[in-house]
Structure 1
Amino acid sequence: MRKKRLMGLLLTGVLSVTMLAGCGGNGGEKTSSGSKDEGKQQEASGEKQTIEFWYHDGNPTSNPIFEELIKRFEDKYPQYEVKYVGLPADSYLQKYNTAVATNTVPDVVSIRDMDVSSFINQDALMCLDDVYEEFPEKENLNEAVIEATRLCSIDKKLYCLPQYITTDISWCNTQLMKEKGIEVPKTLDEFMEDCEKYADPDNGSYFYSLRGGAGSMENLFDFIFTYADQDSMFDEEGNCVLSQPIFAEAMDKYASIYWNGWTSKDSVTNSFKEMVAEFGSKTSMYISHNSSSLAEHKKNLGEGNFENVIAPANKQGNVVTKNLSFTGYSVMENAKNKEGAIAFIEYLVSCEGASYLCEQEGRVPINNLIYDEEWYKNDPYNGVYRELMEAENVKFLTHPVWLTQWNEFRSKYQEPGFQAVLLKEKTSEEVLKEWADYLTAAQKEYLEANK
Structure 2
Amino acid sequence: MDISTGRTRGRHTATALALAAVLALTATACGDDGGGAGGDKGEEGTGKGEITFWDNNTAVRRDIWMEIIKDFEKKYPDIKVNYVGIPAASVQSKYDTAIQGGGLPDVGGVGAAMLAGIVGQNALEPVGDRVTASTALNGRLNAGMVESVKAAGGRKELYTVPTSASNGVLYYRTDLFKEAGLEAPTTWTKFYEAAAKLTDSGRNQFGYTIRGGAGSIAQALDAMYGQSGITSFWDASGTKTTVNDPRNVQALEKYTALYKKATPSADVNNDFTKMVAQWDSGRIGMLNHNLGSYKDHVKALGPDKFRGLPNPTTDSGARVQVSNPVDGLGLFKASRNKKAAWTFIEFAASHESNSKWNESAGAIPANTEAAKDPWVQKAEPTRLAAEALTGGSTTIVQLPYYLPDWNTISKTANEPAFQKVLLGKTSAKGFLDSLAGQLDKAQAEWKKQSR
The interval holding the TM-score normalised by the smaller chain is 0.7 to 0.9
Match of 1:3 in 2: none
2:206–2:264: 8 Å Cα contact kept in structure 1?
A: yes
2:28 partner letter = K
1:229–1:316: 8 Å Cα contact kept in structure 2?
A: no
Match of 2:128 in 1: 129
Match of 1:96 in 2: 95
Inter-partner Cα distance in structure 2 for 1:147 and 1:312: 25
Inter-partner Cα distance in structure 1 for 2:27 and 2:103: 14
Evaluate the alpha carbon distance shift between residue 167 and residue 37 of structure 1 in structure 2; reply closer, same or farther with a 3 A threshold.
Answer: closer
Q: How big is the alpha-carbon RMSD for the aligned residues of Structure 1 and Structure 2? A: 2.7
Cα drift, residue 399 of structure 1: 0.3
1:34–1:81: 8 Å Cα contact kept in structure 2?
A: no
Give TM-score scaled by structure 1 length: 0.85
Cα drift, residue 390 of structure 1: 5.8
2:30–2:104: 8 Å Cα contact kept in structure 1?
A: no
Cα drift, residue 175 of structure 1: 3.1
2:28 is equivalent to residue 36 of structure 1: yes
Please identify runs of 4+ aligned residues in structure 1 that moved more than 4 A. Answer: 32-35, 390-393
Evaluate the alpha carbon distance shift between residue 416 and residue 327 of structure 1 in structure 2; reply closer, same or farther with a 3 A threshold.
Answer: same
2:269 is equivalent to residue 269 of structure 1: yes
1:268–1:422: 8 Å Cα contact kept in structure 2?
A: yes
Match of 2:334 in 1: 334
Inter-partner Cα distance in structure 1 for 2:202 and 2:278: 16
Cα drift, residue 264 of structure 1: 0.9
Inter-partner Cα distance in structure 2 for 1:77 and 1:159: 24
Match of 2:190 in 1: 190
- Give ranges in structure 2 of 5+ residues lacking alignment: 1-20, 32-45
Match of 1:427 in 2: 427
Cα drift, residue 393 of structure 1: 5.5
1:359–1:375: 8 Å Cα contact kept in structure 2?
A: yes
Match of 2:39 in 1: none
Inter-partner Cα distance in structure 2 for 1:220 and 1:155: 28
Structure 1 segment 294-333 matched on structure 2, within 5 A: 294-323=294-323, 325-333=325-333
Match of 1:412 in 2: 412
Match of 1:239 in 2: 240
2:74 partner letter = D
Inter-partner Cα distance in structure 1 for 2:257 and 2:25: 49
Evaluate the alpha carbon distance shift between residue 153 and residue 197 of structure 1 in structure 2; reply closer, same or farther with a 3 A threshold.
Answer: closer
- Give ranges in structure 1 of 5+ residues lacking alignment: 1-28, 40-45
1:403–1:446: 8 Å Cα contact kept in structure 2?
A: yes
Inter-partner Cα distance in structure 2 for 1:148 and 1:310: 19
The total of aligned residue pairs comes to: 414
Evaluate the alpha carbon distance shift between residue 154 and residue 195 of structure 1 in structure 2; reply closer, same or farther with a 3 A threshold.
Answer: closer
Inter-partner Cα distance in structure 2 for 1:248 and 1:450: 31
Identity %: 29
Query: What secondary structure sits across from 2:152 in the alignment?
Result: coil
Query: What secondary structure sits across from 2:209 in the alignment?
Result: coil
Match of 1:111 in 2: 110
1:245 partner letter = P
Query: What secondary structure sits across from 1:303 in the alignment?
Result: coil
1:210–1:287: 8 Å Cα contact kept in structure 2?
A: yes
1:240–1:439: 8 Å Cα contact kept in structure 2?
A: yes
2:53 is equivalent to residue 53 of structure 1: yes
Query: What secondary structure sits across from 2:193 in the alignment?
Result: helix
1:37–1:50: 8 Å Cα contact kept in structure 2?
A: no
Cα drift, residue 392 of structure 1: 5.9
Query: What secondary structure sits across from 1:208 in the alignment?
Result: strand
Inter-partner Cα distance in structure 1 for 2:357 and 2:288: 22
Inter-partner Cα distance in structure 2 for 1:38 and 1:320: 43
Query: What secondary structure sits across from 1:266 in the alignment?
Result: helix
Evaluate the alpha carbon distance shift between residue 386 and residue 363 of structure 1 in structure 2; reply closer, same or farther with a 3 A threshold.
Answer: closer
1:89 partner letter = A
Match of 1:87 in 2: 86
Match of 2:7 in 1: none
Evaluate the alpha carbon distance shift between residue 377 and residue 226 of structure 1 in structure 2; reply closer, same or farther with a 3 A threshold.
Answer: closer
Cα drift, residue 298 of structure 1: 2.1
Inter-partner Cα distance in structure 1 for 2:440 and 2:27: 47
